[in-house]
Structure 1
Amino acid sequence: MMRKIWIGLLSLLMAVGGAKAQFIANPLPIPFGDPYVMYDQGKYYMYGTGGDVKNGFGAYSSSNLKEWKFEGQVYHHDNPNGWGIHSFWAPEVYKKGGKYYMLYSAQWKQNPNQEKENFKIGVAVSDKPTGPFIDLNDRPIFDPGYPIIDANLLVENGKIYLYYSRCCYKHPVASEVAQWAKKRGWYNEVEESWVYGVELKTDFSGTIGAPVLLLRPPVKMGSIKEEWESRSVTAKEVNRRWTEGSYIFKKDKIYYMMYSANNFDGQNYAIGYATSKSPLGPFKKADNNPVLQRSGKVSGTGHNSITYTPDGKQMLCVYHGRTEATGHQRLVFIDKMEVAKDGRLMVHGPTLKD
């Protein structure tokens, strides 16, 4: 028995040791986009977009981040307070006061102008991480006057901050990239999505104050460190530039906001980050962006969350990607990441099992 325990410990140390060592046999057989992992009472719970559920969200659980059990559909759109009708995306779950709160985006059924993209953010609650989650109210948290997706929260000093992405829909923005594409006869305009932050009421019933613009695509061309954010346009994929899928955390008094750029449905989807000394900015994009992008047989790497090994020592980046073998199907990847002593954030991926 002692020999088996020692071998198990040795295997774990080998898995998490060394920056280039593969932590998990990627990709995991979980068909999620926008994966979010919560650690609670010795177990990991993963939520995401899609995953073979209809009009809602499924969940998986694991004790070791390698073997995962499907817990079924944990949120259904037709619950007593359901307000969404389709496009259920990017769920994230937070524990507060012994209850579990799911933030997510969906198409709001209240749509008098019949907008194609009428996405809003709502919150549902459950007594268990495996649901069932029931909407707190029969409406979204708030309506800023434009479609929004990709909710992420920061809880600090008794306050809750909500981060979200304004959709590209009907949001054309003047930029050198837009001018460049128009001169080539590719697109008449380029729409953009931007990341905002706003304080949230502690009972999730609404927001406090006006949203603050935190991140947007670069206005000018020519910067090597920022050109990666425009590849959906420069590769002639689509007339849109995205800044979405934000995930914020704090380390050594610095706020790190990870975000995804480019078309989520394309190969150039990638992750960068920005830093600030305040939860509502201003944020400065990092010089070493992107920190995760297509490589080898893996592409479409984006919309991440962060978790840690059970001992809390090793940061892990959880994201979705595609491989040559799996085709267009999005699957979950987990790779090691770190914040170096000089403050640089690095993701050691994408890794792919041999």
Structure 2
Amino acid sequence: MKSFKHIIYTAFCVFALSATTIPAVQAQSSNNPLPVAFGDPYVLHDGSGTYYMYGTGGGAKQGFSAYSSRDLKNWKPEGQVYFHDNKNGWGNGAFWAPEVYKVENKYYLFYSAQWKHNPTNEKENFRIGVAVSDKPTGPFTDLNDRPVFDPGYPIIDANVLFDKGRVYLYYSRCCYKHPVESEVAAWAKAKGWYNEVEESWVYGVELKPDFSGTIGEPVLLLRPPVKNDPATAWESRSVTSREANRRWTEGSYIFKHKNLYYMMYSANNFDGENYAVGYATGKSPLGLFKKSPDNPVLQKNGQVSGTGHNSVTWAADGRTMYCVYHGRTPETGHKRLVFIDKMRIDKKGKLVVDGPTVKR
């Protein structure tokens, strides 16, 4: 690969190009849910007038599939784009949450998977990898025969930020074997529900320019609340509804608006109806981040439930924003499908998602 500065400059040019060449998405009635059975959907601006969507599941066998669209409404299946048994494949199961970034006319797919190297036979042995392709539709080949790095605990949900000549990786430490004391945990134990409550936390760390590893130590950015507070009670619904002895902070997605960094994140059980999205803001890529008092910004509404693990994409004007996420309806059952709704940041800096909506 070329110099770090050249890589990042090119990435910025691609992002700027994609914001000006993709046909504008016209205001129209909701097309939700889309007939795309993805969890954790992520949409890429290719710069050629086409959007590409990647996600968990969607019929892929030990890997990832993709869809393409010119208007964010009608999506064409592109088939499986990543296979676990490529020449450098290191994963052997649970392929989750793919995100694809275009840098210097190459496409880099970041994803989570169970690591083959598992000497202690951990039930959750997730790590993050990166694969490369000449095309957004693959095939993608892992850069190395190992994960990007090993923090010593399972991690999922990679998200990448290119900012001021540097690259940052965000991820979620899994709940697995991570019990944390909190007022909610003490309350659940006193009720005789759970002896402990495990938590997942969001971290950020700088990436090497060739994506081969990390620079410095990971920084804790977001975690569930320690004290009971009405403003953050929504993050504990999986525990307070006796759904699980876990509190999740995962599926982070970061972007910059003016001089502020917005980090969206999901809380509660991805497989339950209480999955919801909030956000926090910070003045630098590695925080500190402060959660919004207006959370959650996306949650169940009677028509849609299990709303979460979102990404953000933009229309051709570079200002109209869309929140891409998965959810469920009574008609579609338990299967996760993709939803796309408009979102915005108002004059006071408040992030608002105009959803969840269903077809009308």
Within the candidate set 65, 68, 73, 1:66 is matched to: 73
Q: Give the AA of the match of 2:248.
A: W
Which residue of structure 2 aligns with residue 226 of structure 1?
232
2:225 is aligned with 1:202: no
In 2, Cα distance between the equivalents of 1:13 and 1:243?
34
2:258 is aligned with 1:256: no
Q: What are the Cα deviations for residues 45-66 of structure 1, in whole angstroms up to 9, with x where unaligned?
A: 0000000111000000000111
Q: Provide the identity percentage.
A: 73
Which residue of structure 1 aligns with residue 189 of structure 2?
182
Within the candidate set 85, 100, 119, 2:107 is matched to: 100
For structure 2, the 5+ residue unaligned runs are 1-23
Q: Give the AA of the match of 2:109.
A: M
Which residue of structure 1 aligns with residue 17 of structure 2?
none
In 2, Cα distance between the equivalents of 1:339 and 1:157?
22
How do 1:79-98 and structure 2 match up within 5 A?
79-98=86-105
Number of paired residues?
336
Displacement, 1:186? Answer: 0.3
RMSD: 1.0
Q: Which structure would you say has the larger RCO, counting Cα contacts within 8 Å and 6 or more residues apart?
A: 2
Displacement, 1:313? Answer: 2.7
Displacement, 1:216? Answer: 0.1
Q: Give the AA of the match of 1:147.
A: P
Displacement, 1:12? Answer: 6.3
Displacement, 1:254? Answer: 0.1
Displacement, 1:98? Answer: 1.1
Contact 1:257 1:274 in 2 (8 A): yes
Contact 2:55 2:96 in 1 (8 A): yes
In 1, Cα distance between the equivalents of 2:140 and 2:195?
43
2:285 is aligned with 1:266: no
2:245 is aligned with 1:239: yes
Contact 2:25 2:316 in 1 (8 A): no
Q: TM-score, normalised by structure 2?
A: 0.92
In 2, Cα distance between the equivalents of 1:79 and 1:33?
23
Q: What are the Cα deviations for residues 272-312 of structure 1, in whole angstroms up to 9, with x where unaligned?
A: 00000010000000010000000022000000000011232
Contact 1:57 1:88 in 2 (8 A): yes
Change (3 A) 1:203 1:180: same
Q: TM-score, normalised by structure 1?
A: 0.94
In 2, Cα distance between the equivalents of 1:165 and 1:257?
13
For structure 1, the 5+ residue unaligned runs are 1-10, 16-21
In 1, Cα distance between the equivalents of 2:208 and 2:315?
31
Q: Give the AA of the match of 1:300.
A: G
In 1, Cα distance between the equivalents of 2:335 and 2:74?
20
Displacement, 1:14? Answer: 4.3
Contact 1:42 1:310 in 2 (8 A): no
Which residue of structure 2 aligns with residue 323 of structure 1?
329
Within the candidate set 322, 326, 340, 2:346 is matched to: 340
How do 1:1-354 and structure 2 match up within 5 A?
13-15=26-28, 22=29, 24-40=30-46, 41-221=48-228, 223-354=229-360
Which residue of structure 2 aligns with residue 4 of structure 1?
none
Q: Give the AA of the match of 1:243.
A: T
In 2, Cα distance between the equivalents of 1:306 and 1:26?
16
Contact 2:25 2:72 in 1 (8 A): no
Q: What are the Cα deviations for residues 169-201 of structure 1, in whole angstroms up to 9, with x where unaligned?
A: 000000000000001100000000000000000
Displacement, 1:122? Answer: 0.2
- The runs of at least 4 consecutive aligned structure 1 residues that moved more than 3 Å come to 11-14
Displacement, 1:25? Answer: 1.1
